[in-house]
Structure 1
Amino acid sequence: MVTGMIEVIGLTRRFRRHAAVDDLSFTVTPGKITGFLGPNGAGKTMTMRIILGLDRPTSGRATVNGVPYRTLDRPLTHVGALLDASAMQGGRRGEQHLWWLARSNGISRTRIGGLLELVGLAGAGRTRMGGFSLGMKQRLGLAAALLGDPEVLLLDEPLNGLDPEGIRWMRGLLKSLAAEGRTVLVSSHLMHEMAVTADHLIVIGRGRLLADTEITRFVRPGMSLEDTFMQVIERNAP
């Protein structure tokens, strides 16, 4: 088993007659940025939640390093995730938020200062999170994801709330993390950004796999990523 590998095998999540995820299988490998694309309601967030043990599948399985997330010892040292940057206690200070997470996974608090500086929040560690903008919450959420120095990162719409400078900074950081050999899975609706950031694409629609390929093979000659994506989605529409 390759360290940092994510495997989704025959994953299905049903709500009565509706399948949010429908017999989905794919593998995410280290050393590249994998873009996780699909229209609203395609099942991207649900798939990430199942990978992280936050929801249980109806059938199939999802593993990291060959085992379910729930069985990982000190999980933040293996997997870092950013699913909802707004899910924070507004009365808590930024550095307190990170310290609470660090304590829960046996991580030294000495990492906190450096991470706040890395994400551009060096001067905001003592500020209560209720006063953070969405962009600041995204940056703090990324710091939390990196807290345990994990080999795997799952990021759901990490560019929300970032200005153009912040988006460019995030792009460079993700590329550097992948270059270190980490596994980076990024869900995003920003096609123009995925076109210059992602190395590999997993595209789903109605919970089903539509494409699993290198981005250079997915985008058709003379077309943009957005154009190709829309053609694939429309071709598979009910």
Structure 2
Amino acid sequence: MERMIEVTGLTKRFGPATAVDDLSFQVPPGRITGFLGPNGAGKTTTMRLILGLDRPTAGHALVGGVPYRSMRRPLTHVGALLDATAVQGGRRAEQHLRWLARSNGISPRSIGSLLELVGLGDVGRKRIGGFSLGMKQRLGMAAALLGDPEVLLLDEPTNGLDPEGIRWTRGLLKSLAAEGRTVLVSSHLMSEMALTADHLIILARGRLLADAGVADLVRPGVSLEDVFMRVIAGGER
């Protein structure tokens, strides 16, 4: 329970538009849960609600049984990567991580090793404004791991990465889940999710359409993309 994400009756409206519609699911530790849906399905909004960045219209989201907003030193409990480009370009990569560490009472001693882990060891002193999207994604992953959290929420973490970077991310996520951490990751790359995820949550128009293991959804001779399109088509009728 202390590592589980729980979403119950979660609803978010923006004026007349409903972005998340009475959504309920759980994300337990020890596996990678893929969070899938077409553009506008409500995935990012749901992640923002879990992280307390938006307030729900109804329902609630808990991490380890408590709202994210109530956590002291939240980066030591939950690591998140929602938008890798939302960084101050004038800062150096190392400075960015030091600032985050200081804000949560985290020792900066691990920053050098974290930069090495994500493949940015030789550019820690360079300004983020000169980074490619893939480099910013790697920096965002370092920021998510900074507090050694037991829960991770990652929104399109492979966006902008080359094949080597995608493979590296896959291996990292698998190792984190194997350590007993809770990993929720959204992606539009069906082939990658088929290789990475253990369990899938599929949304459309803010509603839950599927919550099942990959092995239960994907049969021999059928791709995850085929399954996804069938589930979406059935849910939008």
CA distance in 2, matches of 1:221, 1:89: 46
Q: Distance in 2 between matches of 1:19 and 1:131?
A: 38
> 2-side partners of 1:168 and 1:226: how far apart?
19
Displacement of 1:52 after TM fit?
Answer: 0.3
**Is 2:139 aligned against 1:140?**
yes
Kept after mapping to 2: 8 A contact 1:220/1:228: no
> Residues 116-168 of structure 1: CA distance to partner in whole angstroms, max 9, x if unpaired?
00000000100000000000000000000000000000000000010000000
Whole-angstrom distance in 1 between the partners of 2:33 and 2:44: 15
User: Equivalents in 2 of 1:143, 1:188: separation in Å?
Assistant: 19
1:121 aligns with 2:126: no
Give CA-to-partner distance per residue, 1:38-96, whole Å, 9 cap, x none: 00000000000000000000000000010100001100000000000000100000000
Structure 2: how far apart are the matches of 1:107 and 1:15?
36
Q: Does 1:216 align with 2:215?
A: yes
Unaligned runs of 5+ in 1: none
Residue equivalent to 1:52: 51
Q: What RMSD, in angstroms, separates the aligned Cα atoms of the two structures?
A: 0.7
Give the aligned partner of residue 225 of structure 1: 224
Q: 2:95 aligns to what? A: 96
Give SS of 2:7's match: strand
State the 1:17 CA deviation. Answer: 2.1
SS at match of 2:134: helix
SS of 1:122 mapped into structure 2: coil
Q: Which amino acid in the other structure matches residue 230 of structure 1? A: M
Using the size of structure 2 for normalisation, the TM-score is 0.99
Query: Residue in 2 aligned with 1:168?
Result: 167
Q: Secondary structure at the match of 2:228?
A: helix
* Equivalent residue, structure 2, for 1:81: 80
In structure 2, the residue matched to 1:187 is 186
Alpha-carbon deviation of 1:236? 1.5
For residue 142 of structure 2, give the secondary structure of its aligned residue in structure 1.
Answer: helix
Report the CA distance between 1:14 and its aligned residue. 0.8
**1:18 matched residue in structure 2:** 17
Check if 1:204 corresponds to 2:203: yes
C-alpha separation between the residues in 1 aligned to 2:13 and 2:134? 33
Amino acid paired to 2:77: H
1:235 shift after superposition: 1.2
Deviation at 1:221, TM superposition (A): 3.8
Q: TM-score, normalised by structure 1?
A: 0.98
Aligned partners of 2:235 and 2:148: how far apart in 1? 39
Name the counterpart of 1:236.
235
Report the CA distance between 1:222 and its aligned residue.
2.1
One-letter amino acid matched to 1:35: G
